[in-house]
Chain A
């Protein structure tokens, strides 16, 4: 099996938005920032498990829809006074396609 798995086209993810990739270990959220940078995190806020994919993307952060924690897209770390980390999924872009690391994508538990 290849190390990287194609999960969709770069254009499938709206700017300042996200899409969900369903995976055995739970949903993965793929985000696209205003500058076009893509990020992937496990779709669970470290606070109460809120679906980060449903939050608002701003800069290189996303605000969780449940309790407004702000999570760094780059590291998964909660910003400001909050502490916690969303699991980061390695992501690569090749020829307009989004590739996620197979090991984490297919892992049973995050």
Chain B
């Protein structure tokens, strides 16, 4: 029987231990994890980009459900361990779940430090530690208003920048005279404060908070000097302390944190500890790189390598606020008696300081220009003697080496053991070797195999340069596939920034996101037009010039420049009046071809462009509207006759199809959406190869989705089963809205589902009733402006210039 490993805590340190551990085959242990948070392991240091809106939770997942499954790990999520019985070798969670262990790993992390002042328990006071905190802040930020952040350290400033990006008025209160005083000297602290203030964030240093004000909810804070600041939310970000309570109660030796030796074992040799809860040689760490270094040692020890030791870490910090370049390594309080080398460029806002002690770098601060950070850090960790290059040291590596300022040259000059990724301790040589050994060519692969740039991502540029050096011409920088040649940003990034920065027009997007062309191209403009239309349905005015011809003209262009016209037939139903009108139109305008489509309606092919408005007017007259057969939008809802006529029908499939089509017509989507409703599992409406398909059964409705029958043939997947028509409609609408909000332009529903995962979609539109409702409501809002028949508008004269030639000389006499 395999031995049992129990892990308490499902954070980054624990996750990394297991990852390192599983890489060392064979596996002598069966692992069980208890996580207090109700979710899988995610990248906690990326919470700030989630708060600012630049990333989504899904982007910062480290291990998905499949990972736990593949590795045979039992994950107890949302279960907090309350007791360790070292005698019986058993842990017990709050809900009574128990697990026996042979080896135990305590990875309980840290808890935010909350200043003990009156009012800190009021609703509206939040800490900044996990995703729940971020969600709480986002919920408040959505209503606007004021935020006070207590603490001007790394965490506090990232929180402040995130809340500001979400549109709040933000004030940072900091007890010390300058910001981030543990990592920065006063000069860099000042530059940082100025930068924050330029972004509209108020900063008060030397501000001691006396009390949090409010009766039933936070209304403000009061400072020691009597000043009162109004606030709708107060974020406590003054620091963290190791969470060693559980270990202490179990009788393990603790001080500030859980005491461990160089072998990462606690005072009980069967119990290891790792991460922020640990105290090693008198130091508690709060950054990710040391945790990963510890994790390596724990994994080695667990695999039987008794020689592996952890001897402490030298740390460096980067601030993850977009647009602020800040690097710091070493401790400036301890570096007081060192010798300084300082470079200032006031106009450009650049400040660099290196502290030397006995010809060795003991600290470095770089502000405004941080490219040489890893080089300085490397010299510092190696305790290299820098006396020979002291004169030019501050100008960085490229100057010291006399080579050009080309960043690629800088990277080329780095030695193989220079650290590229600080979070994961990956050096240049390892990246080069892995690329060559495994034949890697994409950033995603390099990340997967080396972990370089897989955590905070700030070294992505460096990793790419190493790739470029190693691969030469074979390297194409396609980390995120850019939308088009006009930008380096991918679809996800653009969509997120449109929302986060409140960009509401195509010129605003291009200006703010640094488009490389003056007015985009035929790839990005339709995508942006759709994204803006989807995200700001009430404010954004559709830009016809950024539509493909079919959507601009509301008909389908044919090879000879004529058009085809398809009126809507709700659920495939028609009647003699409509058919007569179609026949009349076909004769009146000499329409050469009339054809029945696969979507159960009639196509009039070969209509001259200048005839379109008149054709539409005639069809409108008979009560018909545009079928959007040309649209990246809802096309058809194909139905069978159901209980109305069919002897096998179980539900009114025709009625449901008509109802869905009536509710959803006119909506724009990333790519075309076709639906079908079949009245029984015989599936005459072919619902299981549609984007959304319903199969009626006696007991209700099966909702299928993510099918296609075009370039690719793809059967649908079952989303869920519901009992009633109302619920069926709600789920389908919510699903479509989620696709509208997440899909990349031109990405069919099945591709979107492949990309984000069926489970993730189901968790939102099926299992979370609140989110489903919210999606439904957002769709309803966008339909208010979408459900206007474009044919009627144009028959009434809109965009007349599209249809009329400017001048006609076709009968003029030839010049020859």
Instruction: Enumerate chain A interface residues (CB-CB to B < 8 A).
Output: 1, 5, 7-8, 12-17, 19-24, 27, 30, 34-35, 48-51, 54-59, 61, 63, 65-66, 68, 70, 102-103, 105-108
Contact = CB atoms under 8 A, between A and B. Distances in A.
Given A14-B801, A19-B801, A34-B519, A54 B549 contact: yes
Nearest to A26: B810
Contact of A58 (B521, B561, B812): B521
Contacts of A48: 559
Contacts of B811: 24
B521 A59 contact: yes
Nearest to A65: B549
B117 interface: no
Contacts of B26: none
Contacts of B816: 107-108
Nearest to A14: B801
A20 B809 CA distance: 11
B553 interface: yes
Interface in B772-816: 801, 805-816
Nearest to A56: B522
B517 interface: yes
A34 B401 CA distance: 47
Nearest to B808: A22
A56 B557 CA distance: 14
Interface string B538-570: 000000011111100100010101000000000
A98 to B, nearest CB: 8
A30 B545 contact: no
A19 B809 contact: no
B559 A58 contact: no
Given A54-B549, A70-B522, A106-B815, A13 B561 contact: no
A48 B561 CA distance: 11
B518 interface: yes
Shortest beta-carbon contacts, A-B, top 9: A63-B522, A19-B806, A65-B549, A106-B815, A16-B545, A22-B810, A54-B549, A56-B522, A22-B808
A21 B545 contact: no
A61 B518 CA distance: 12
A107 to B, nearest CB: 6
A63 B521 contact: yes
Contact of A14 (B545, B559, B814): B545
B670 interface: no
B546 A56 contact: yes
A102 B548 CA distance: 32
Contacts, number: 100
A23 B807 CA distance: 9
Nearest to B563: A54
A51 B807 contact: no
Nearest to A1: B815
Nearest to A68: B522
25 contacts: A7-B806, A7-B809, A8-B807, A16-B545, A19-B806, A21-B805, A22-B807, A22-B809, A23-B809, A23-B810, A23-B812, A24-B810, A24-B811, A54-B549, A54-B557, A55-B522, A56-B548, A58-B517, A58-B522, A58-B525, A59-B519, A63-B522, A103-B815, A106-B815, A108-B814
A59 B520 CA distance: 7
Nearest to A57: B545
A12 to B, nearest CB: 5
Given A12-B801, A56-B545, A70-B522, A106 B812 contact: yes
B518 A34 contact: yes
A57 B814 CA distance: 30
A59 B805 CA distance: 23
A50 B522 CA distance: 16
A54 B806 CA distance: 14
Contact of B806 (A12, A65, A70, A103): A12
Interface residues of B, number: 31
B805 A19 contact: yes
Contact of A59 (B518, B547, B809): B518
Contacts of B547: 56
A13 B553 contact: no
B525 A56 contact: yes
A8 B545 contact: no
B809 A13 contact: no
A24 B809 contact: yes
A102 B814 CA distance: 10
Contacts of A102: 815
A54 B525 contact: no
B415 to A, nearest CB: 42
B483 to A, nearest CB: 14
A107 B550 CA distance: 31
Given A13-B806, A103-B815, A106-B813, A54 B801 contact: no
Interface string B745-774: 000000000000000000000000000000
Nearest to B547: A56
A42 to B, nearest CB: 13
A44 to B, nearest CB: 9
Contacts of B813: 106
Contacts of A23: 809-810, 812
Contact of B805 (A15, A22, A55): A22
A58 B484 CA distance: 13
A75 B222 CA distance: 69
Given A56-B547, A66-B557, 19 more contacts: A7-B807, A12-B806, A14-B545, A15-B545, A16-B519, A19-B806, A22-B809, A24-B810, A24-B814, A34-B519, A35-B518, A49-B561, A54-B549, A56-B548, A58-B522, A70-B522, A106-B813, A106-B815, A107-B814
A20 to B, nearest CB: 4
Contacts of B806: 7-8, 12-13, 19-21, 30
Nearest to B517: A59
A102 B815 CA distance: 8
Contacts of A5: 809
A70 to B, nearest CB: 7
A22 B547 CA distance: 24
A81 to B, nearest CB: 13
B562 to A, nearest CB: 10
Interface core residue of A48, A63, A108 (most chain B CB under 10 Å): A63
A106 B813 CA distance: 7
Contacts of B809: 5, 7, 21-24, 105-106
A60 to B, nearest CB: 10
B561 to A, nearest CB: 4
B549 A55 contact: yes
Contact of B548 (A17, A34, A65, A105): A65
A19 B610 CA distance: 13
Contacts of A21: 805-809
A30 B806 CA distance: 9
Contacts of A8: 806-807
Nearest to A13: B806
A1 to B, nearest CB: 8
Nearest to A105: B809
Contacts of A54: 549, 553, 557, 561
A58 B807 contact: no
A66 B545 contact: no
A28 to B, nearest CB: 9
B308 to A, nearest CB: 55
Contact of A50 (B525, B548, B561, B805): B561
A19 B521 CA distance: 20
A27 B808 CA distance: 9
A57 B804 CA distance: 19
Nearest to B520: A58
Contacts of A65: 548-550, 557
A20 B609 CA distance: 12
Contacts of A50: 561
A23 B329 CA distance: 72
A70 B814 CA distance: 31
Nearest to A63: B522
A108 B814 CA distance: 6
Nearest to A20: B805
Contacts of A70: 521-522
